[in-house]
Amino acid sequence: MVSSKQCDFSPLVCLSDFEREARNILPRNALNYYKSGADEEHTLADNVAAFRRLRLIPRVLRDVEGVSLQGHAILGQIVSSPICVAPTAMQKMAHGQGELATARACAKKGTLMALSTLTTVALETIAEEVPTLHRWLQLYIYKDLEATLDVVRRAEKNGFSVVAVTVDTPFLGKRREDERHKFTLPSHLALANFADQKNDREMYKVEGGGGKEGGGGGGRSGLSKYVDVIQNHSLTWKHIAWLRSHTSMKIVLKGIHSGEDARLAVEAGVDAIWVSNHGGRQLDTVPATIEMLPDIVRAVRSAVAKKKGGAGSSGVEVFVDGGVRTGTDVLKALALGANAVFIGRPVLWGLACGGEEGVSRVLEILNEELRLSMALSGCRTLSDVTKDLVRHQSSFSNL
């Protein structure tokens, strides 16, 4: 069981420090699950490395006194910062309070949290214990559509305003660390949103074994077998229309990789597109999300303009996650057109190091770095952050 003892934050001055400390705290089962990616983990590494290939071109002699992140709106919700918390599953493996600690930190900082479907704290508990939280639900559409709708209705009833549908997981990516160590959810924990459903404990606790679906071999993790059993492998755009017909919540598609799918998403009437490669955990060697972002932003704006019959503002927001580790990373993503930037693993590292206070400190550090990066770039407000702030390192090759 993970200790809930808080570590000393004083020497932890950046997100990498929290990661290093968390690696020393977490048991192997949890650490391997949280840190690993698919196959050779090329995309996992490139999500971080791609930010380094982008260069900032600051402007000087601008009044940057009082740099502010205030007044930013994400799908109509006013938040304290464009830095938000992405859905990560099974957070009680990192800390005894799990998602509840993360939710409290987000509410305290005034940012929003997307709660994973595979949470270890029920969505009702989050809503009851942290009523001021800007809360979204991340959703997998399962084979059992009625069970899927049950989660959606419960979220809507409990004040969740947005449902973020993960669309890049018809099957689980091949995560070698999970297979090597036969990852399963620890016996004292449960998938809280499905605690009363038979699919939860029996299916999720399966260790290893064969299985023909998805091309899986022997020795697969419990999670891989669970997903094979419950996941809707025939998911199509018709399911997005079906979901729209059953909920008044705003709909975000999470896991968009191509401009063409972004265009189709706009035509399908979604409210936002979330550029994500699942933290490098699904199809290995897909591009880093920050490199996909500009093409998708252009595709969205073009599709919205065509739908409206003329030019204009986007109307469909674009979010991004993957590899964000510093304030300059956030600044680059905003400059390239993201309306919000989501972080996943850094939240888990903060959670492991100190629960609610650890997550709060991670958010504080990243926001402090963003403000400083904005000031040093000549940007006093988020509206000053524009695409001419960023250039790819290859553009300097003629020097």
| pLDDT tens, residue by residue, 52-76 | 999 999 999 999 999 999 889 999 9
Query: Is position 278 annotated as part of the catalytic site?
Result: yes
Q: What percent of the chain has pLDDT over 70?
A: 90
Q: What percent of the chain has pLDDT over 90?
A: 82
Question: Tell me: the pLDDT tens digits for 191-235?
Answer: 999 877 554 444 444 344 333 333 344 556 767 777 778 889 999
Q: Residue 163 is inside which H or E element, if any?
A: strand 162-166
Q: Residue 164 is inside which H or E element, if any?
A: strand 162-166
pLDDT of residue 220: 64
Q: Is 207 helix (H, G, I), strand (E, B) or coil?
A: coil
Q: Which residues contact 69 (CB under 8 A, 6 or more apart)?
A: 80, 81, 82, 367, 370, 371, 382
Q: What pLDDT band is residue 389 in, cutting at 50, 70 and 90?
A: very high
Residues in the chain: 399
pLDDT of residue 314: 58
β-partners of residue 56 are: 390
Q: Which residues contact 19 (CB under 8 A, 6 or more apart)?
A: 345, 346, 349
Query: Is residue 7's pLDDT more than 90?
Result: no
Q: How far is CA 389 from CA 247, 334, 372, in A?
A: 39, 10, 15
Query: Is residue 399's pLDDT more than 80?
Result: no
> What is the pLDDT of the chain when averaged over all its residues?
91
CB atoms within 10 A of CB 67: 18
- 355 sits in the region (left: phi over 0; alpha: psi -120 to 50; else beta) called left
Question: Tell me: the pLDDT tens digits for 88-118?
Answer: 999 999 999 999 999 999 999 999 999 999 9
Q: What pLDDT band is residue 310 in, cutting at 50, 70 and 90?
A: low
* Structural domain spans, the chain: 15-249+267-278+298-322+338-382
At which residue do the structure tokens 């968390």 appear?
22
pLDDT of residue 181: 84
Q: Which candidate in 95, 188, 278, 392 is catalytic?
A: 278
Strand (E) positions, 227-384?
250-256, 272-275, 317-321, 340-343
> Which of the following CATH numbers is that of domain 15-249+267-278+298-322+338-382: 3.30.2320.20, 1.25.40.10, 3.30.2320.80, 3.20.20.70?
3.20.20.70
pLDDT of residue 2: 58
Distance CA 216, CA 221 (A): 10
- pTM for this predicted structure: 0.93
